[in-house]
Amino acid sequence: MGLEKLHPFDAGKWGKVINFLKEEKLIADDLVVQAREATDEDLLVVHTRRYLNRLKWSFVVATITEIPPVAFLPNFVVQRKVLRPLRTQTGGTIMAGKLAVDRGWAINVGGGFHHCSSDKGGGFCAYADITLAIKFLFERVPGVSKATIIDLDAHQGNGHERDFMDDPRVYIMDAYNRYIYPGDGFAKRAIKRKVELEWGTEDTEYLQKVHTHVEGALNEFKPDILVYNAGTDILDGDPLGGLAISPQGIVKRDEVVFRAARRRRIPVLMVTSGGYQKRTARIIADSILNLHSLGLIHGQLAARGAAHPSLEQMVRDSAKDLGNLSLQ
């Protein structure tokens, strides 16, 4: 109904990324695993019933998404048009976690709702998909007992930080603009490697810090899964991020993370998180193309002794696997 025009986020970003990748012949419809909507039962693995009940009030969703007119819509419309797409992205992150463990890497073109915790949404984030993906792996995938979150969105990831406070199984590295939302001092206690950035930080300083701290984080703690929150709101000119990273800097940043994980045979789950300019979709697509051209995302990354299938075979096998993976 045009409400997306009232929000700084480009609601068409994810579809544009897929279309760019199709145009470049990297993927086709049969090479994309379709996300399934997370059910209430799935969400209750992390979220409280009280919180999910609160989302049945439109004004609560309006506050979380920061779109005031949503408060005046009937909740069935809010559920269908606002929350269902977010639940589907959340299901995608959970599914991508399993795929990453099985295949060595997975990218959810969406997700990264890092301001939402088990009992509180905010900052456009209604579901805690990062926490959910990790909890599902811990509880339902044998051999996964430790996780590292590398959060490189321009904003502090206070949602997953609150959820994993004092949890020794989860190591969090977070690099963010120290002056912007959310400024959650309590949540910062959960960060094992904190990289606070100044206004207008540019490529050279940023990439040096990312490289140093990603290497340091993965040397300090050896996880069974790496969840990479790859927000593009670090882009120069972003109205909310306040940093000044070039498109090429973003592509290089993603490469640094994937190279570090690949060398150590750590499965990577990437989510795309924030990014509030129209050109971010093209940058995300270019980054994925770069990762593919460098051999960082294809069968050769498969971990745990897996064979090296083609991308097409990986997707076909994954679709079969996920048919046996009950999100319930």
Active-site amino acid positions:
115
In three-state secondary structure terms, 173 is strand
The DSSP output letter for 304 is: T
Structure tokens at 68: 């005031």
**Closest CA relative to residue 39, chosen from 85, 78, 91:** 91
Residues 6+ apart with CB under 8 A from 293: none
Residues 6+ apart with CB under 8 A from 74: 58
Give the DSSP H/E element, type plus range, for residue 320: helix 311-323
- Rounded Cα distance between 60 and 53, Å, is 10
User: If 0-12 CB within 10 Å is exposed, 13-18 middle and 19+ buried, where does residue 119 land?
Assistant: middle
| Residues 223/212, Cβ–Cβ less than 8 Å | no
Helix ranges, 118-271 (H): 129-140, 158-163, 203-220, 247-263
| Residues 275/233, Cβ–Cβ less than 8 Å | yes
Helices 247-263, 280-293: inter-axial angle, 10-degree rounding: 40
* Site of tokens 């300090």: 220
